[in-house]
Amino acid sequence: MSAGYIDEMHEAFHSDLVYRSEDIPLDCSPKAKDLEQTLHGVMKLNGLVIRSLEEIAGRGANAVTYRAGKKFGHEVAQYFQKREDVEGALHELSNLLRGQYSFEVWKPEDKEKFIIEENGETFIYLVFHDCIVRQTLRR
């Protein structure tokens, strides 16, 4: 399957609709309970497909999610000015993605900065206001 074909399929199914948790009606028809078994079946199938892809590609989930995150970052970067301030860039990204992936930069109470360096490692904590997987499945 060529990359061009995948891009065409992506464009064909692309929608500008964004669903936030507060947009979902409290009363659904059919009832969510009636669809629960179907949803679990789809989720199980998705897990099996991902596991199979990992076996075929010889990579683990960490490599797959890293690659997806990196690609997403490159796609979103076109909407930003280049800046050296990581904290400011994360705040800007949070504002830009507010309707899709709602998150904010967080720091522990005993820390002065959002970027924490300990034992030669750098940490940035992000608080997601909703489950990324559930937000992605809504699209």
Determine the Cα–Cα distance for residues 86 and 95; give it in Å rounded to an integer.
14
Cα separation of 11 and 13, whole Å? 5
Give yes or no for residue 138 having a pLDDT over 80.
Answer: no
pLDDT for 16 beyond 80:
no
C-beta atoms surrounding 98 within 10 Å: 14
Q: Whole-prediction pTM value? A: 0.40
The confidence score (pLDDT) of residue 139 equals 47
Query: Using CA of residue 18, residue 71, residue 59, residue 10, what is the dihedral sign?
Result: positive
Reported residue count of the chain is 139
120: pLDDT confidence band, cut at 50, 70 and 90?
Answer: very high
**pLDDT tens for residues 33-91?**
777 777 777 777 777 777 777 677 666 666 766 777 778 777 777 777 778 888 777 77
Domain boundaries, the chain: 1-23+83-139, 31-78
